[in-house]
A = this chain, B = another copy of it.
Amino acid sequence: MAASDHISEPVQMEAHASRKRRTTDISDTLQNGSGQVISEADALIHSPDPLHPANHICELCKNFYTFGWVTGTGGGVSIRDDKHIFIAPSGVQKELMRPTDMFVMEYETKKYLRRPAVLKPSACTPLFLAAFTKRDAGCCIHTHSQWAVLVTLICEAGLQDHPDGSGKDVFAISEIEQIKGISRGGHGNSSTEILEGGRKAGNLGYYDTLKIPIIENTAREEDLTDTLEKAIEEWPEATAVLVRRHGVYVWGKDVAQAKTQCESLDYLFQLAVEMHKMGLNWVK
């Protein structure tokens, strides 16, 4: 998600005050438990369950803000359940989001079932979709972490080039325990393979070299779609793609896997920057 768009006042107002929001695509109305009439579109994001995607995204973003992953409206999260994709809107303060700010897309048709009236859908949407469709992911996280940006800069400058390791277009690191926190990622649409990736058997080992492809940034976030999809295809084991001078996209079969892999990768990016400062090679 571009760190760019305007934060509409009404959103922020509502983040503190009101609970009402107009939505489009309201094709019908329902009654909720307390007898209140809500639209079908709104029913998609109203739930008392803190793990409902609309609630979960808000909670995750609050935490990611403290890590510097979604600073200044940057970054974003998307969760896919059986039939729907939930996506945070573009350009809002991620730490202040509310479930009513959420966009909901029907996965099969890629049609929006819910669009908050005053907000814009995320520019990351096609990139999140790439992870969902090409890897059967259940969650995709995009951060602007400075550690991610810095490793792409170090690679760009050729400061860690290694025949079996990093190059201009790939970040590589080996023999660090935290690498074992990263799944091999699966390499197709098969959900069993993705599930497999979340188990010990499916994760990288200590002596494996973790490799994450780096794609070049573009002026418009949407324009990253082709190269991101190409990277996903060319790197069947990767569970993430770095975007030069921008950040990283990390996915997993569910929120827990996407989040813990994002944490492990961020840990490795930070460690790599510190290693580089001390003249140490990333690949042993």
One of A30-38, A102-110, A259-267 contacting the partner? A259-267
**Chain B CB within 8 A of A157 CB:** yes
**Chain B CB within 8 A of A12 CB:** yes
- Whether A256 and B3, one on each chain, are in contact in the complex, defined by CB atoms closer than 8 angstroms, is no
A275: which of B153, B175, B271 is its contact (CB, 8 Å)?
B153
- Please, how many angstroms separate the alpha-carbon atoms of A50 and B91 in the complex? 22
Cβ distance A96 to chain B, nearest Cβ, rounded Å:
9
B-side contacts of A7, CB under 8 Å: 198, 256-257, 260
Most chain B CB within a 10 A radius of its CB, from A72, A144, A261, A266: A72
Question: In chain A, residues 7-61, which have Cβ atoms closer than 8 Å to a Cβ of chain B?
Answer: 7, 9, 12-13, 16-17, 49-51
**Chain B CB within 8 A of A93 CB:** yes
- Whether A280 and B181, one on each chain, are in contact in the complex, defined by CB atoms closer than 8 angstroms, is no
Most chain B CB within a 10 A radius of its CB, from A9, A202, A254, A257: A9
- Whether B2 and A180, one on each chain, are in contact in the complex, defined by CB atoms closer than 8 angstroms, is yes
- Please, how many angstroms separate the alpha-carbon atoms of A184 and B207 in the complex? 35
Contact with B along A196-225 (1 / 0, CB 8 A): 001110110111000000000111000000
A146: which of B68, B217, B274 is its contact (CB, 8 Å)?
B274
Q: How many residues of A are in contact with the other chain, CB < 8 A? A: 71
- Whether A267 and B177, one on each chain, are in contact in the complex, defined by CB atoms closer than 8 angstroms, is no
Q: A153-B275, A217-B175 are in contact. Are A68 and B200 (CB under 8 A)?
A: no
A residues near B, CB below 8 A?
A: 2-7, 9, 12-13, 16-17, 49-51, 68, 71-74, 91, 93, 120, 144, 146, 149-150, 153-154, 157, 159, 175-178, 180-181, 198-200, 202-203, 205-207, 217-219, 243, 245-247, 254-257, 259-261, 263-264, 266-267, 270-271, 273-278, 280
Q: List 10 A-B contacts (CB under 8 A).
A: A2-B180, A4-B181, A6-B199, A72-B178, A72-B261, A74-B177, A74-B178, A74-B267, A153-B280, A206-B218
| Other A-B pairs, 7, CB within 8 Å; known A4-B180, A12-B255 | A3-B180, A16-B51, A149-B176, A153-B280, A177-B245, A206-B219, A207-B219
